[in-house]
Structures are given as structure tokens and as C-alpha cells.
Amino acid sequence: MHIDLTGKTAVVTGGNSGIGRAFSMALARSGASVVATYFTGDFEPFAEDGQTIFGVALDATDSEQVDAVMAEAAKKLGGKVDILINNAGGLMGRVLASDMSDEHFHNVMDTNFSSAFYCTRAVLPYMPDGGRIVNLSSLAAHDGGGNGSVIYAASKAAVIGFTRGMAKELGPRNITVNALAPGFIANTAFHNTFTPEAVQEANVSKTPLHRAGTPDDVACAALYLISDMSSFITGEVMEINGGLYFV
């Protein structure tokens, strides 16, 4: 079934690479107008099925910058943001708790959790009733993550609590708030940088579907949560891990 988002507007944080880029392209392919934020590197506007995806630089851990950029994004999108995908995040490095600096702790928490809060708070004045918010959690929120990722796991668990709290708060406005918890998604900077090849292969071998996930697997799940088909689903966490972990 094709999901038609014609006339809808969307902001995807971290929307220019990896899973974020898959979100941006899936939304545009479905007819939405999309602003993708990016933190590092240069952004070249890209198109999908005739829809141009516009980029806006953003440090999502800076609340004042987030406020300004969400206002700018809403202006680009005609004054409203129907859909927000809080995708910005990262592991930032594998560090044992016993060796962890305060700086690393706050950097990981801010990148994965504070960013979701700041962006959600900033977009709400521009989001009409019936909007959709999707937050990116992780399998690590359930199983504690791999070696040296305890704070990453904690930050992604915080995203789940935030999702459920906001689902209650925004329910009266008919805005749904849900989360995605991807497992092993291959061919992303996250795993290419921080997960050794042997560990990646072990994850695949343990997965009942015997393959790694792809960014498109995650994007398709987001499309369902954004669509009218999921209008009575809120405060939920969709597990996308090929059966590697059951909640």
C-alpha cells in the first residue's frame, strides 16, 4: 500500500546521511515537503521523485539554535511542520563507565536525548493538531548495548520514557508520539566506525532473519507511524531488529 503524504511537511534531524537520509527520501517519495538538518559537512540539496529535500545546519544540542532553526524550517515549509523525526544522535565513542569523563557523559546524553527534547519543544508551536512525532531509540535501550556504550544505552532508554510522556501530553491535540528501536542496521557510519566486522557478522548470525537491517527497513517503519493507518497508536516503541531481541 502506498502512503500518500502529499501536502504534508516534515523535519528530519540528522537527515542527510545513513538512517536519517533514508527517512528524508522516504518522506519525499511519499509526497511530503522535507527539511533535513545536518551537523557536519556540506549539504547538497537532493531530490526524490521530484521532491527537493532542503538542508539546514543545526547543532541539535544547542537549545537556542534549535529554536531558531525550527522557526526557519517552518518558514521554508509554509508555516507548519506536520511531522518531526528526531533522528540526530550517535555513540560518540566506546568508553567504559570507569574511564568516562563528565564531558563524554554529557556529550552523549545531549546528543541523543537533550536534542530530542529541544527539537520537540521547538517544533510544537508550528505543529498542527494531528501531527506526528517519531523518536529514534535503539535496541541498546533494552539490552544495555555493546561494550563501552552504557551511556548511549541510557540516553536511548531516556528517549523511550520521553516518548511515552509526550504521547500523554500531546494526546489531547491528536498528535501521536512513537519511537523506533533499531537493532543492527548495516552500512551506516555508526557501525562502520564503532563496530568491528567480526561483531557485525556475529549479530547477523544471531538474528533469526539471518541478515542485517538496512536504513530503508527503519524508514518504512517510520512511514507507517506517520501515516493515518497508525492514528490510534501512540507512546509505542517499534522494534526493528529481525527478531534479534524480543520485548
Strands annotated E in 22-131: 33-38, 46-48, 51-57, 83-86
- State phi, psi for 43 to the nearest 5 degrees: -110, 125
Domain that holds residue 69: 9-238
Residue 187 clears pLDDT 90, i.e. is over it: no
Closest Cα partner for 145 from 154, 134, 136? 154
pLDDT band at 223 (very low <50, low <70, confident <90, very high): very high
> Residue 50's pLDDT is what?
67
Average of pLDDT values for 23-45? 88
Residue 48 clears pLDDT 70, i.e. is over it: no
- Any idea of the CA torsion for 89, 92, 96, 98, to the nearest 10 degrees? -90
226 located within any domain: yes
* Residue reference for cell 574511564: 99
Residue 1 clears pLDDT 60, i.e. is over it: no
179 located within any domain: yes
Note if 152 is an active site residue.
yes
3 located within any domain: no
149 located within any domain: yes
98 located within any domain: yes
22 located within any domain: yes
> pLDDT digit string (tens) for 131-145?
999 999 999 999 999
Total domains, the chain: 1
> pLDDT digit string (tens) for 145-157?
999 999 999 999 9
| Separation CA 34–CA 27 (nearest Å) | 7
96 located within any domain: yes
1 located within any domain: no
How many residues belong to the chain? Answer: 247
> Residue 47's pLDDT is what?
63
What CATH number did the domain enclosing 224 receive?
A: 3.40.50.720
Closest Cα partner for 136 from 59, 98, 190, 97? 190
pLDDT band at 163 (very low <50, low <70, confident <90, very high): very high
219: DSSP letter = H
Q: Which residue is catalytic, options 118, 152, 224, 245? A: 152
